Structure 1
């Protein structure tokens, strides 16, 4: 699964720390998510999409 977290975060000029605080996780979680080293729970995916003003489908792309 790929994601566009870094891209959306840049649109809003958010640091990893700022995004982490918005969704209630530590900065390292955002780092791992951006590297696709960690797959988020459905709740976290929802919170990230909401914080970044997009949908889960636009933020996360599943590889076939």
Structure 2
């Protein structure tokens, strides 16, 4: 699995665990909902600062988004 797919899977799982829409995640991470959708489809390679903003929105470490397997949602 490519790293973009790993990040996509982790972002989607965390978002679903929090019961957030893509729009809600986008607002919390200061991104467009279209960009969040592209990340979740593994259509883009998110820059490090974007991964950091998404991790902050979820309350996880950025490294958690790179882990294979199921990340834990906090809060």
Range of TM-score over shorter length? 0.7 to 0.9
Please name the residue that 1:58 is paired with: 64
Please name the residue that 1:36 is paired with: 42
Q: Equivalences for 1:1-64 in 2 at 5 Å?
A: 1=3, 2-3=6-7, 4-61=10-67
Gaps of 5+ in 2: 69-75
How big is the shift at 1:60? 2.3
Is contact 2:29–2:56 with CA below 8 Å preserved after alignment? Answer: no
Gaps of 5+ in 1: none
Separation (CA, whole Å) in 2 of partners of 1:22 and 1:60:
20
How big is the shift at 1:39? 1.2
Give the structure with the larger strand fraction: 1
Give the TM-score, by structure 2 length: 0.74
Which aligned runs of 4 or more in structure 1 are off by greater than 2 angstroms? none
Give the TM-score, by structure 1 length: 0.85
